[in-house]
Structure 1
Amino acid sequence: MKIMPILFLLIAAMAAPVAAQADSRWNNAPYVSAPPVVTETPDELKSRVVEISTFPTDLDPRIWDGDKLREDVRQRTLEVIEYMFAELKLKNVTIQSVEVRGSNVSYEYDDAADFGVRVFLDTSAYKGSIEDLAARIKSYNAFIEVKHEGKVLLHGVPLEVNFYVIRSARLNPVKGVGHYSITEDKWMERPAVQESKFDRNQMLADMTGVTTTYNGLVTAYFADKQGFECSRWKDFSKSLGDYRNAGIDKSGTRSTENLVYRLLRRLKVNVVEQSSALALECQNIHWSLD
């Protein structure tokens, strides 16, 4: 994966500002008015790399009482899920299990980590198309994200909920990776301290490459929003996802790639979310008529 900084820098070169007169209409409400560029200095990035790769030795006490999920957290989570599920108004579908995995079920959380809950549905009695239902659930998850993301806090920890019709292999318990059943209030897999396989020098190089690419895209986009090819945002986001997944598959959650991805979400500008937001704005502008 050491070629990643070079690839991102090549993309950055392709994303150089275009010689065009920006149309001010697209820099006024409801559109983003100022380029959301990454402003951290090299020294600040270096400090953040050290910070993101320094891990706690206990589970988050805001969520856990020792190794037991706090009862008020468990009950409130189930209440929220019951409310959300009722909104779907599904016939012959029930909640099969409610589970949580991620940073806050491990020794890798920080103040920005969310409580990522996964709700698996029992569709054994469902009469309709499972594929159509899965598509509907995917849209509902997107709706939940827009409506509630970062707004439901459990002792300061954001609650994130996603519903699933099908359990893919990636959602199954993995040995040593914390996985808790909220439904049964017990561990499905206890967390182990993961092996550290990151290289801080490589992390800094990758961060520099990614942020340079991102800033180049932002500059080009704001120079001519209507002339910008929206697929460039999607390509960038996909490259980040592929980069992260390759690192996890090869070296686990404490890989260089996964930690870089996490840090990109914790900069003054959340590179991951902002890229998706600008991709959506770009599409809306392209659909508009002069």
Structure 2
Amino acid sequence: MTAIDLNSDLGESYGAWRMGDDEAMLCIVSSANVACGFHAGDPAGILKTVKAAAERGVSIGAHVSYPDRVGFGRRDIDVTSPELVADVVYQIGALKGIAAAAGTQVRYVKPHGALYNRIATDAKQGAAVIEAVKAVDPSLVLMGLANAPILDLAGKAGLDVVAEAFADRAYTPEGHLVSRREPGAVLHDPAAIAQRMLRLAKDGTIEAIDGSVIRIDAKSICVHGDSPDAVAIAREIRRTFEAEGIAIRSFLAPSAA
């Protein structure tokens, strides 16, 4: 692999409540998953982040969520399919409007938090998200968990997909993310994480939480923007990759490997 995408969840501040360091992250990552207001983000802050991403040539994705600001979108909701379709359509539409105002465009969709985890294996909610994306703009790419059924489901429905791995999260032996409620679920050491991701990029493998080795075919790596270590982790991943001759480049770039 000569290039890989590095993405982060941005635009998540809300009013006086600050979340992450978008300015710093946008100087490191190649793709920005921008909050659409349902789990975090206010209009002014979202617009600021989108403008900054556009100025730096960072690809913009709609980070759609369940309507759950209090829980930061990390609480599972057993929503009906029509409601979920409408919620996702609404969020993509809102970000598309903001992107147009900033002179850029939304290129992909990445569900957030509990919705992301739910649709990875829940075909019903997954189908609703796919329906919503296609209804708004079928050229949008759906980003999802590597090796998860949602990617096959979306591909069969006619959407382009991109598989991602998580730099700052532990994996189960089955290839799922370890629940945040479990010890060791979130990783913090930038140097160790960078080497972990380098192994992923070179060999397509990663060590699970029990020490077993699992195979993950990913074209994008995510660093959660709300982590206190996010900037340091992203910076170390980029430094490590570039030292090994692996470029950080959006998966949407024509020359991406």
TM-score (norm 1): 0.24
Normalized against structure 2, the TM-score is what? Answer: 0.26
- Which has the larger helix fraction? 1
Relative contact order, higher structure (CA 8 A, sep 6+) = 1
**Larger gyration radius, structure 1 or structure 2:** 1
